[in-house]
Amino acid sequence: MHAKDFINPMLPVLKSTDTVGEALNWMEEYRIGQLPLIHEQEYQGLISHDILLDADEDLPLLALQPEFEDAFANVNQHIFEILKIVQQHDLQAVVVLDEEQSFVGTISVQELLNQFSKNLGSQEIGAVLEIAVENRSYSLSEISRLIESNNVKIISSYYTSGTGLEDSKDILTLKLNQQDISRVMATLERFEYDIVGAYNFEEITSPDKERYDMLMKYLNL
- Provide the residue-wise pLDDT of the chain in tens; the chain has 221 residues: 789 999 999 999 999 999 999 999 999 999 999 999 999 899 999 999 999 998 999 999 999 999 999 999 999 999 889 999 999 999 999 999 999 999 999 999 999 988 877 766 556 678 888 999 876 667 889 999 999 999 999 988 878 776 655 566 788 889 898 888 989 999 999 999 999 988 876 544 444 445 445 544 544 43
The CB-based long-range contact list for 119-125 (8 Å cut-off, 24+ gap) reads: 119/1, 119/79, 119/156, 120/156, 120/158, 120/175, 121/155, 121/156, 121/175, 122/175, 124/155, 124/175, 124/177, 125/177, 125/179
In the three-class reduction of DSSP (H, G, I as helix; E, B as strand; rest coil), residue 187 is classed as: helix
User: Would you say residue 122 lies in a domain?
Assistant: no
One domain for residues 109 and 142: no
pTM equals: 0.65
Last residue of a domain, one of 66, 98, 117: 117
What number of CA atoms fall less than 13 Å from residue 161's CA on the CB side?
4
Q: Which residues contact 197 (CB under 8 A, 6 or more apart)?
A: 128, 129, 130
- The CATH number that applies at residue 212 is 3.30.70.260
Q: Identify whether residues 33 and 99 lie together within a single domain.
A: yes
Domain carrying residue 93: 3-117
Same domain, 69 and 136: no
Final residue belonging to a domain, choices 98, 117, 136: 117
Residues 152 and 179 occupy one common structural domain: yes
Examine residue 50 and state whether it is found in any structural domain, yes or no: yes
> How many separate domains does the chain show?
2
Domain annotation covers residue 140: yes
Instruction: Tally helices (H) and strands (E) across the chain.
Output: 7, 9
Measured from the Cβ of residue 35, the count of other Cβ atoms closer than 10 Å reads 26
**Residue 123 forms part of a structural domain:** no
56-95 core/surface letters (b: 16 or more CB in 10 A; e: else): eeeeebeebebbbeebbbbeebebeebeebbeeeebbbbb
